[in-house]
Every structure is written in structure tokens, then in C-alpha cells.
Amino acid sequence: MAKITKLLIANRGEIALRIHRACHELGIKTVAVHSTADADAMHVRLADEAVCIGPPAATDSYLNIANIISAAEITHADAIHPGYGFLSENAQFAEIVELHNIIWVGPKPEHIRVMGDKVEAKRTAAKLGLPLVPGSPGPLETIEEAMQVAEEIGYPVLIKAASGGGGRGMKVVPAPEQLESLMMQASSEAKAAFGDATVYMEKYLGDPKHIEFQVFGDGEGAAIHLGERDCSIQRRHQKVIEEAPSPVISAEQRAKMGGIVANAMAAMGYRGAGTIEFLYEDGQFYFIEMNTRLQVEHPVTEMISGLDLVREQIRIAQGEGLTVPQERVQLTGHAIECRINAEDPETFVPSPGLVKNYVAPGGMHVRVDSGLYAGYRVPPYYDSMIGKLIVYGADREECIRRLRRALEEFVVEGMKTTVPLHQRVIDTPEFMDGNYTIKWLERWLEEQR
């Protein structure tokens, strides 16, 4: 067993702070690496050591493998946590970290690689017995093949990038006439965004929910699930509000699907945290992808399970195994997370700038994960998410009431934020009722115009 004494956080923003907090609670020292734009970030101030790794552009800093490894070497960090985004699902980075005898707080590189290629991921999922969205058996090579598959599964179909992520590189094809041009567009967009033009096809489900299961493996053949999260409140295929448990999944469905995914992870020898994403329609689950990292929305699972997921990741990386076997995983109550973005709540135009005043909500069962403070300048170079509000309640109704109260208390002056959007969304009958699907938010926003 290799005890971690100093951990390098290869990320920024709220997740860097989140990781720092877990480390300090475990008595592990932290190293922050940051771009010149993030020198004043909260986690940089709190970390035991900080190293500047480059200019603002992420390709030159947060994605600069050589600089991050050098920072780990000069500070004698014995572990690296990648957070989410940036290098978190880069198998080569994971390999390089391990080659330097640094503990990689993440899955085995081969599993990152397999799941990072969505076509391979679907093949693997099928072998492990997970239900799939009907679609092409592999990458689409020719337009003739695409025509044939689309004919078989029926329009509308969705063209997706094998290396895609963040909801990018997807095209809905309503009818055969548009197939060729949309497939070419998807392919060239994928090439530009991910350096890989490979695309595949799925049936475009009419009105599903997005339901995902949190899993953990010890890397030695033991694995557990921590139930599901409902992430159907989305805009442009990006999650906006997440909750756990899903208002539409029964205890039986949870135990059954959770059991299937945990067994699949055990069979793979999966190590660390992972998320198995499904679309859910008419009582059926359809696997879409697996994320081999911590998710933005992990706190809702923490709230209902009482487990610190970053601590679990660190334990597993140290070879200590899982804290609890499946029988002792207890999910109680309800949790909802709102992603707070520095954006106009109506036009969604980014609104970075100086935080003139900041007051985070508090009180019982209210958690804010954010690196914001008065006087901080939100840099324009990165994602617009400036924080997450996570609220817990004994049941969904109590949780929503508390969320409404916490949103009222949230003060961020100096920029526009999506707080007012959340306030309106959670008061709609559709949200209250819990039956919303992935198309709902965009439809509702359209109606509000």
C-alpha cells in the first residue's frame, strides 16, 4: 500500500478546491498548478504549494503534460488527481504519470482508452450485458452503410463523434435526404474538435430521460454502485440541474440496473470512480457512454450516500479498496444540484468579470462548491461555470423548498449568473412533478421568449 503524502491537483476552479478539501481532511498536502490567469484562484491560495504551468490558453497550461509532470517532479508530489475535463480522460497522460512512479488517482489507462472511444465503449458494454441504443455496429465507413443502418433503425437518427464529449459533434438527421450532408458535417466537426473524424449512428430517441449510475471499482474485481442521478434538465446536451435519486426510478429498477453495472465493472476489473450513462424511455435503459472520471454532479450522490467520493478515489488509488460493500451502501433522502454559470440567464451569453460582492447561501443541508470570493476576477478563458449549489432534503419536496430558499440567498454582484434561471425552472409544474425529459428545458425556454 502506497500512502499518498502530497497530491498535485491537475485542474482549476471549483473542482480543484473540492479535491484540495478532501486532501486536507485526509492529512495530504496539496500542490496547485495554475495558468497565469488563475494566479489568484482560491484553491491556489489554499494549496500548500503552487506552480505556474503556463499562459491562459488551456492547451499551453492545463493540457500541457510536460509542464504538469515537471511541476509534480519539482514539488515531489506522489500523486496526481485530474478532476474532470482537461486531461482527466486522457489515457496517455495517465500512462505518463504512472511511468514517472506517480500515483494516478483514476482508472487504469486501458479502461480510459476503451471507454474514451464511444464505439469501443458500446462494444464493451454490449459484451458486459448492458442494453444499447439501436445503431451502427461500429464506425460508419461509407454513406451507403449509413443509409442502410438508418433504414433499419428508422429515422430520425443521430450521428455522433466516436471521440466526442461535452455534447459536441452530434447531428440529428430527420430524413434520408439530409443524411449525406449531415454525416459529412459531423465528421469534419469531429475532426476539428477532437482530431478524430470517426462517427457512428444511433437511433434518435424521441423523449428520453438521462439517467446515470455512479460506480466504484477497487481494480481487483470488487465493484459497487451508488445509485443513479437524473440529469435530464439540459440545454444543448449540457446538464443544468441534476438530482439523486431520479424521481421516476423505483427501488427495484435501481437495484436491478445498479447490480448490472456493478457486475460489469467487477468483471472488467475497473478501478476508481466511473459513471455509466443511459437514456431512459418507456421503462427501458439504453447505454450511451461511460465516463472514467469524477463527474461535475458527483455531490448529489455524496449527499444521499454520505460518502466522500474524492476520498473514495484516493483510498482506491492507495490500494485500500472500497470503504463499503454493496450491502452497506445506504441511499437516503434527496439531493439537487444547480450549476451556476457566469452567463446571462436569458441569452446565455458569457458574463465573466470582477466579483464585486459575493454571499453564498448557508444553513442546514446547503452546500456551495465554488472558488468565488469578493474581489476575484472570473477569467474569460475557461468554462463559464462558477459554482454549484447542492441541497439535501429528507424527501424531494423538502429538498425543492430548501433549494428555493437557498437560491434566494445567493448574491453574486458584478456579473450576470444563471441563478434567476434556476429559480424559474424549479417552480415549473414539470420540474415539481419530476417527469421532465432531456428536451423539456429547451422547449420551455422557447415558450418563454
Kindly list the catalytic residues: 293
CB under 8 Å to 352, separation ≥6 — which residues? Answer: 342, 377, 378, 379, 380, 384, 415
The verdict on whether omega for the bond into residue 156 sits within 30 degrees of 0, i.e. cis, is yes
Minimum CB distance to ligand ADP smaller for 202 or for 343: 202
Nearest residue to 425 via CA among 369, 345, 368, 357: 345
Task: Quote the crossing angle between the two packed helices 109-116 and 118-127, to the nearest 10°.
Answer: 110
Cβ neighbours of 385 (radius 10 Å): 18
Q: Identify whether the C-beta of residue 223 lies closer than 8 Å to the C-beta of residue 310.
A: no
Minimum CB distance to ligand ADP smaller for 280 or for 358: 280
Minimum CB distance to ligand ADP smaller for 58 or for 158: 158
Least Å from the CB of residue 78 to ligand ADP: 32
d(CA 184, CA 306): 47
d(CA 236, CA 348): 11
d(CA 39, CA 45): 8
What is the pairing mode between strands 199-203 and 6-9? unpaired
Minimum CB distance to ligand ADP smaller for 236 or for 405: 236
Q: Identify whether the C-beta of residue 417 lies closer than 8 Å to the C-beta of residue 339.
A: no
Least Å from the CB of residue 310 to ligand ADP: 22
Minimum CB distance to ligand ADP smaller for 128 or for 132: 132
Minimum CB distance to ligand ADP smaller for 341 or for 351: 341
Nearest residue to 209 via CA among 253, 146, 176, 151: 253
**DSSP symbols for 60-127:** GTTT-HHHHHHHHHHHT--EEE--SSTTTT-HHHHHHHHHTT-EESSS-HHHHHHHHSHHHHHHHHHH
**Which parts of this chain interact with ligand ADP (CB under 6 A)?**
133, 158, 164-168, 202-205, 208, 210, 234, 237, 277, 279, 288-289, 438
Q: Is 193 exposed, middle or buried (0-12, 13-18, 19+ CB in 10 A)?
A: middle
Least Å from the CB of residue 175 to ligand ADP: 16
Nearest residue to 66 via CA among 93, 48, 86, 90: 93
Beta-bridge partners for 51: 33
d(CA 201, CA 133): 10
The verdict on whether omega for the bond into residue 245 sits within 30 degrees of 0, i.e. cis, is yes
